[in-house]
Amino acid sequence: DKATAWSALRSGTLPASSALSQASAGPFMKLSAVRRLALAGSLSASVALGLQLQHGRDARPFGASVAFAQPRAAGVAMLASPAEGRARLIDGKAIAAAVRRDIKASSDELKAAHGTTPGLAVVLVGNRTDSATYVRMKKKAAAEVGFYSVDRNFDETVTQEQLLATVEELNADPRIHGILVQLPLPRHIDEAAVLESIAVAKDVDGFSAENIGRMCLRGGEPPLALPCTPAGCVELLQRSEIQVAGKEVVVLGRSNIVGMPVAHLLQSMDATVTVCHSRTADLPAQVRRADIVVAAIGRAELVKADWIKPGAVVIDVGVNSKPAPEDKRGYKLCGDVDFDQVSLVAGAITPVPGGVGPMTIAMLLKNTLNLTRHSLGLPRIPLRRQQ
């Protein structure tokens, strides 16, 4: 009955699922009591939100006050205030613009001191709209920071020998410091062979075995370039003044492009990192432990509000689409995180679009700059800051 349920919930012996089940049969406690328990930390923010919704009220202001009242992990910079009602946005567009300004200033210094302009070459095969759009964005960003850029465009019938010859030509060109082969390539092309033909000193994507090995090893020589999206995630955290050292981080996804590299980078920053994947048992429970969540699993809006520790930082790497009849395209972009609901609980969150995406191109430019510095015998500009 109501009295028994109330007593059990207050004592912690009634699970969240049972509390919500009881609530669905009719409110069994006053909203003021729900608020007191939640603010005291005896009731999770997700359960409190559920109970609030059962009363037919707008949960947003209430949910935010609950989430931000939870004890904060020491040292994590919280980027939102309870009055705002939602997590603070980590603005990838604004941060990427700041990164590009820094890169332009460094590039101008190289030109003045050494007479060298960073050079980026992009190899594009076929007429995929998404690839062409991405390449166009890279060219625009390169022009903004004053880089020299070269395009090598081929149709779908290009042979592997032609591509390999093009890469060798770019390897030998002293004006080019970074080479990017836009993926995917046609099925008749051996992608691995083409990528491996790029000189390590011009591996602007940072995916060569040598660069990945240097990134993963403690001590020794640093990599010449880092995988762009993982580096962008780190840059977002650092420029948002979010402490990583000593924090619990959960990375959703174990791809070679994002999941594994970002896990290594965050571990190198003294975080305790758990990598989860499709075979992880009780995925929500794993995520719920995290002070920082990096979602890169490729499933639209998989991560729900009740997976998130109140006040946690959420970096959403996913780019997915979902039906949107109201949009002229018939769809809209979304991440791996249910943004509308998670932003009621999280302390800070990246949007999709406008979060991690702009950072990927910005870090490609930073890699190009560092490879240029390497060609001149100058030290690289590090990603990780001393904490």
**Torsion angle defined by CA atoms of residues 248, 220, 366 and 102, in that order, rounded to the nearest 10 degrees:** 80
Give me Rg for the CA atoms of the chain: 24
- Alpha carbon 311 to its chain centroid, in Å, reads 17
Residue type, position 284, single letter: P
| CA neighbours closer than 13 Å in the CB half-sphere of residue 165 | 6
Query: What is the rounded CA–CA span in Å between residue 349 and residue 303?
Result: 12
Q: What amino acid positions are annotated as catalytic residues?
A: 138, 182, 205
Closest CA to 224 of 178, 271, 186: 178
Query: What is the rounded CA–CA span in Å between residue 72 and residue 75?
Result: 8
Contacts of 165 (CB under 8 A, 6+ apart): none
Contacts of 94 (CB under 8 A, 6+ apart): none
Neighbours of 154 (CB within 10 A): 17
